[in-house]
Structure 1
Amino acid sequence: MSYIFVGFAILAAWWIVFIIVGIARKQTPIAVFLIILFFVWAVPEVLLLLSNPEFASVLFIVPFILLVQMMRVIPEYQRGVLFRLGRMQKVIQPGFNLVLPFGIDILRKVDMRTFTIDVSKQEVITRDNVPVIVDAVVYFNVFDPVLAVVKVADYTKSTSLLAQTILRSVLGQHELDEMLSKRAELGQILQRLLDDATDPWGIKVTAVEIKAVELAETMKRAMARQAEAERERRAKVIAAEGELQASEKLAQAADVLAQSPASLQLRYLQTLTEIAVEKNSTIIFPLPMDFLKALTKLAGKDQE
């Protein structure tokens, strides 16, 4: 007999604690609902305890059926959107909360953390008619849980599909060289357009990154030939500039040597000294034409 009264006291205390929680969280409808049901349950329970204690224990199951359905625990990284009889009421904060049972209240939990969407590879035709396959990543989070639940059925899937559409339309307006060299700028453009489009859904797009741009093998070979030709052009230009500078210096040296005829002879001797160091070359010593003419005249006189 005594254990039945102890059980009744425990269940009554549990029920009163739920009423206090409802009042503390300013959930007036829930507090009123619990107070009314408490008296509806407690008065018959007390009467049965006094008249038929064995049958009174059967009503102990009522708090478990009722109060357990009302308990909701929301983690710190989530928010709850409460619907009462189909009408949106408010946003439930993290922690222990109470809702009305039997389908009167419906609680939709919304994750507020940053989501990462790996946009499926999209085939894009650039403005200069080059087919490429683009792979991108979208980072976003929910800033308004009410809009994310009420305005769109599945905000993750909708954001992913919208990102694919905007990715194809934006990249198709740029040439291949811009797509390869200005990924950061294109990512900012995609982020701004996608954020504006998802703002009515309560979605904040924080970043869009273009991971990879895949080209056909023929285009890769063409770009390799282009890069090789560019390198050859630069090498030829550098060599030509070197020849030009060397010719200017040689012209200046020739002007200096022309001012002193003896200096040319000294240059000959210096060149012979440099050649003779290795001792593996045949040296042809140049002689002035005047000297050769003089030798020819002397040979002619001797013959006479």
Structure 2
Amino acid sequence: MRDILDEATDKWGVKVNRVEMQEILPPEEIRTAMEKEMRAERDKRAKILQADGEREYQIRVANGEKQARILRAEGEAQAKILVADSEKKAILLIAEAVKDTKTDPAQFQIALRYVEAFKEIVKQGDKTVVLPYESSALLGSVKTLGDIFHK
């Protein structure tokens, strides 16, 4: 373009240093094609941004769920440890309480659990209670409880 301008203006002694185009009016077909290309590029960028946003959302949701599961598991583990420690203390206290009675602490615990289980059975209101064949051992356990509480 510069060569064409120089050729046209040299014969008058004019040198063109800069040319500025104010308006370009391409044919309608080219304008339509350019608009389609710009629209396609904007749509492409919008889809990429939408996909990136969706991906980021999914990652954040997954991380939140993961953290929630971890915290629940840690809480359950701590609860189990506290329950185990409490049971240990209870067993030690029972062992200490029954050591003078010459009663086996394990036998005492079993008898206590039998009594608790039968209380629950009675609360259910059923009229028929089926006892296992080995329920005769329960009578010895109940006797042990009675002996301990009377001392």
Is the pair's TM-score, using the shorter chain for normalization, greater than 0.5?
no
Q: TM-score, normalised by structure 2?
A: 0.40
Which one has a larger percent helix, Structure 1 or Structure 2?
Answer: 2
Q: Relative contact order (alpha carbons < 8 A, sep ≥ 6): 1 or 2 greater?
A: 2
Q: TM-score, normalised by structure 1?
A: 0.21
Which one has a larger percent strand, Structure 1 or Structure 2?
Answer: 1
